[in-house]
Amino acid sequence: MSQRTSYLLVDGENIDATLGTSVLGRRPHPEERPRWNKLLGHLERRWQQPVKALFFLAVDEDLPMSFVQALLAMGYTPVPLSGPGKVVDIAIQRTADALLDRAADVMLVSHDGDFTPQMTALSRDEDRRLAVAGFTEFVSTGLRQVPGLEVVDLEYEIGAFTSALPRVRIIPISEYDPADFI
Protein backbone atom coordinates (compact mmCIF):
# COMPACT_ATOMS: atom_id res chain seq x y z
CA MET A 1 0.00 0.00 0.00
CA SER A 2 1.42 3.39 -0.95
CA GLN A 3 1.70 6.21 1.55
CA ARG A 4 -1.01 8.86 1.50
CA THR A 5 -0.05 12.22 0.00
CA SER A 6 -1.08 15.79 0.73
CA TYR A 7 -1.64 18.02 -2.28
CA LEU A 8 -0.96 21.71 -1.84
CA LEU A 9 -2.72 23.70 -4.57
CA VAL A 10 -1.49 27.31 -4.61
CA ASP A 11 -3.42 30.08 -6.35
CA GLY A 12 -0.57 32.56 -6.00
CA GLU A 13 -2.34 35.29 -7.97
CA ASN A 14 -5.31 35.22 -5.63
CA ILE A 15 -3.11 35.46 -2.53
CA ASP A 16 -1.00 38.24 -4.09
CA ALA A 17 -4.09 40.21 -5.20
CA THR A 18 -5.74 39.90 -1.77
CA LEU A 19 -2.52 40.89 -0.03
CA GLY A 20 -2.09 43.93 -2.28
CA THR A 21 -5.67 45.12 -2.64
CA SER A 22 -7.33 44.16 0.64
CA VAL A 23 -4.49 44.04 3.18
CA LEU A 24 -1.82 46.53 2.09
CA GLY A 25 -3.78 48.76 -0.28
CA ARG A 26 -0.89 48.70 -2.77
CA ARG A 27 1.30 46.31 -4.70
CA PRO A 28 3.27 44.18 -2.21
CA HIS A 29 7.04 44.59 -2.04
CA PRO A 30 9.04 41.34 -2.41
CA GLU A 31 9.79 41.22 1.33
CA GLU A 32 6.05 41.48 2.10
CA ARG A 33 5.06 38.42 0.11
CA PRO A 34 4.50 35.00 1.73
CA ARG A 35 7.45 32.74 2.42
CA TRP A 36 6.18 29.78 0.45
CA ASN A 37 8.68 27.40 2.07
CA LYS A 38 7.00 28.02 5.44
CA LEU A 39 3.65 27.00 3.98
CA LEU A 40 5.08 23.76 2.59
CA GLY A 41 6.82 22.94 5.89
CA HIS A 42 3.65 23.73 7.84
CA LEU A 43 1.59 21.29 5.79
CA GLU A 44 4.21 18.53 6.12
CA ARG A 45 4.14 18.92 9.92
CA ARG A 46 0.37 19.38 10.13
CA TRP A 47 -0.60 16.22 8.28
CA GLN A 48 2.60 14.19 8.83
CA GLN A 49 2.90 12.89 5.28
CA PRO A 50 4.61 13.75 1.98
CA VAL A 51 3.38 16.88 0.19
CA LYS A 52 3.07 17.39 -3.54
CA ALA A 53 3.08 21.19 -3.86
CA LEU A 54 1.71 22.68 -7.08
CA PHE A 55 2.09 26.43 -7.67
CA PHE A 56 -0.18 27.63 -10.48
CA LEU A 57 0.96 30.67 -12.50
CA ALA A 58 -0.67 32.59 -15.34
CA VAL A 59 2.04 33.52 -17.81
CA ASP A 60 1.51 35.75 -20.83
CA GLU A 61 4.83 35.56 -22.65
CA ASP A 62 7.94 35.24 -20.54
CA LEU A 63 8.33 32.69 -17.80
CA PRO A 64 9.46 34.41 -14.57
CA MET A 65 12.56 32.20 -14.35
CA SER A 66 13.94 33.53 -11.06
CA PHE A 67 10.60 32.87 -9.33
CA VAL A 68 10.23 29.47 -11.01
CA GLN A 69 13.74 28.49 -9.92
CA ALA A 70 13.00 29.62 -6.37
CA LEU A 71 9.81 27.52 -6.33
CA LEU A 72 11.71 24.48 -7.61
CA ALA A 73 14.39 24.96 -4.95
CA MET A 74 11.70 24.99 -2.23
CA GLY A 75 10.13 21.76 -3.48
CA TYR A 76 7.20 23.17 -5.44
CA THR A 77 6.19 22.11 -8.92
CA PRO A 78 5.47 25.27 -10.90
CA VAL A 79 2.49 24.97 -13.25
CA PRO A 80 2.83 27.87 -15.74
CA LEU A 81 -0.32 28.34 -17.81
CA SER A 82 -1.41 30.53 -20.69
CA GLY A 83 -4.61 31.05 -22.59
CA PRO A 84 -7.86 32.96 -22.43
CA GLY A 85 -9.86 33.26 -19.26
CA LYS A 86 -8.96 32.39 -15.69
CA VAL A 87 -6.39 29.73 -16.56
CA VAL A 88 -5.19 29.29 -12.98
CA ASP A 89 -8.73 28.70 -11.72
CA ILE A 90 -9.45 26.26 -14.54
CA ALA A 91 -6.26 24.29 -13.84
CA ILE A 92 -6.86 24.13 -10.08
CA GLN A 93 -10.46 23.02 -10.65
CA ARG A 94 -9.31 20.28 -13.03
CA THR A 95 -6.62 19.18 -10.58
CA ALA A 96 -9.12 18.99 -7.72
CA ASP A 97 -11.44 16.95 -9.93
CA ALA A 98 -8.57 14.58 -10.77
CA LEU A 99 -7.88 14.10 -7.04
CA LEU A 100 -11.39 12.75 -6.41
CA ASP A 101 -10.22 9.23 -7.22
CA ARG A 102 -7.03 9.40 -5.14
CA ALA A 103 -6.51 8.68 -1.48
CA ALA A 104 -5.11 12.15 -0.85
CA ASP A 105 -5.59 15.13 1.41
CA VAL A 106 -5.86 18.62 -0.09
CA MET A 107 -4.96 22.11 1.05
CA LEU A 108 -6.07 24.89 -1.28
CA VAL A 109 -4.30 28.23 -0.95
CA SER A 110 -6.87 30.76 -2.15
CA HIS A 111 -9.86 32.79 -1.00
CA ASP A 112 -11.79 32.18 -4.20
CA GLY A 113 -15.32 30.78 -4.01
CA ASP A 114 -14.94 29.47 -7.58
CA PHE A 115 -13.37 26.37 -6.02
CA THR A 116 -16.34 25.59 -3.77
CA PRO A 117 -17.85 22.87 -6.03
CA GLN A 118 -14.55 20.99 -6.27
CA MET A 119 -13.78 21.26 -2.55
CA THR A 120 -17.35 20.15 -1.75
CA ALA A 121 -16.92 17.11 -4.01
CA LEU A 122 -13.60 16.29 -2.32
CA SER A 123 -15.26 16.57 1.11
CA ARG A 124 -17.55 13.61 0.34
CA ASP A 125 -14.65 11.27 1.09
CA GLU A 126 -14.85 11.08 4.89
CA ASP A 127 -11.22 9.93 5.14
CA ARG A 128 -9.90 12.98 3.26
CA ARG A 129 -8.52 15.96 5.14
CA LEU A 130 -9.30 19.31 3.52
CA ALA A 131 -8.08 22.79 4.28
CA VAL A 132 -8.00 26.23 2.74
CA ALA A 133 -5.17 28.60 3.62
CA GLY A 134 -5.26 32.35 3.20
CA PHE A 135 -6.24 35.43 5.16
CA THR A 136 -9.18 34.01 7.09
CA GLU A 137 -11.24 37.20 6.92
CA PHE A 138 -11.22 37.03 3.10
CA VAL A 139 -12.00 33.32 2.59
CA SER A 140 -15.23 33.12 0.60
CA THR A 141 -18.47 32.16 2.32
CA GLY A 142 -18.85 29.27 -0.12
CA LEU A 143 -15.54 27.72 0.89
CA ARG A 144 -16.34 28.22 4.59
CA GLN A 145 -19.47 26.10 4.11
CA VAL A 146 -17.62 23.08 2.71
CA PRO A 147 -18.17 20.22 5.20
CA GLY A 148 -15.07 19.39 7.25
CA LEU A 149 -12.90 22.10 5.66
CA GLU A 150 -10.27 23.60 7.98
CA VAL A 151 -9.58 27.33 7.48
CA VAL A 152 -5.91 28.11 8.15
CA ASP A 153 -4.47 31.63 8.39
CA LEU A 154 -1.29 32.24 6.38
CA GLU A 155 0.02 34.88 8.78
CA TYR A 156 -1.18 33.91 12.25
CA GLU A 157 -1.21 30.12 12.05
CA ILE A 158 1.38 29.32 9.38
CA GLY A 159 3.74 32.25 10.02
CA ALA A 160 4.33 32.77 6.28
CA PHE A 161 5.34 36.43 6.65
CA THR A 162 8.53 37.93 8.03
CA SER A 163 6.78 40.94 9.58
CA ALA A 164 3.30 41.71 10.86
CA LEU A 165 0.75 42.77 8.27
CA PRO A 166 -1.66 45.67 8.88
CA ARG A 167 -4.72 43.47 9.44
CA VAL A 168 -7.65 43.94 11.77
CA ARG A 169 -8.89 40.68 13.23
CA ILE A 170 -10.95 39.40 16.13
CA ILE A 171 -8.50 38.45 18.87
CA PRO A 172 -9.33 35.61 21.25
CA ILE A 173 -8.78 36.96 24.77
CA SER A 174 -6.34 34.12 25.43
CA GLU A 175 -4.09 35.58 22.67
CA TYR A 176 -4.50 39.26 23.58
CA ASP A 177 -1.23 41.01 24.37
CA PRO A 178 -1.59 44.69 25.37
CA ALA A 179 2.00 45.28 24.21
CA ASP A 180 0.74 44.91 20.65
CA PHE A 181 -1.38 48.03 21.12
CA ILE A 182 0.48 50.34 23.49
Q: Is the pLDDT of residue 8 over 80?
A: yes
Do you know the residue count of the chain? 182
Pairing state between β 51-58 and 130-134: unpaired
Mean pLDDT of 39-63: 94
Domains of the chain in start order, with CATH, are 5-180 (3.40.50.1010)
Burial environment of residue 36 by CB neighbours within 10 A (0 to 12, 13 to 18, 19 or more): buried
3-state secondary structure at position 32: helix
- Residue 34, amino acid: P
Q: Hey, CA dihedral for 21, 26, 27, 29, is it positive or negative? A: negative
**pLDDT tens per residue across span 126-161:** 999 999 999 999 999 999 999 999 999 999 999 999
pTM, whole model, 2 decimals? 0.91
Nearest CA-CA partner of 74 in 39, 37, 42: 37
Nearest CA-CA partner of 24 in 170, 180, 135: 135
The pLDDT-based confidence of 1 (bands split at 50, 70, 90) is very low
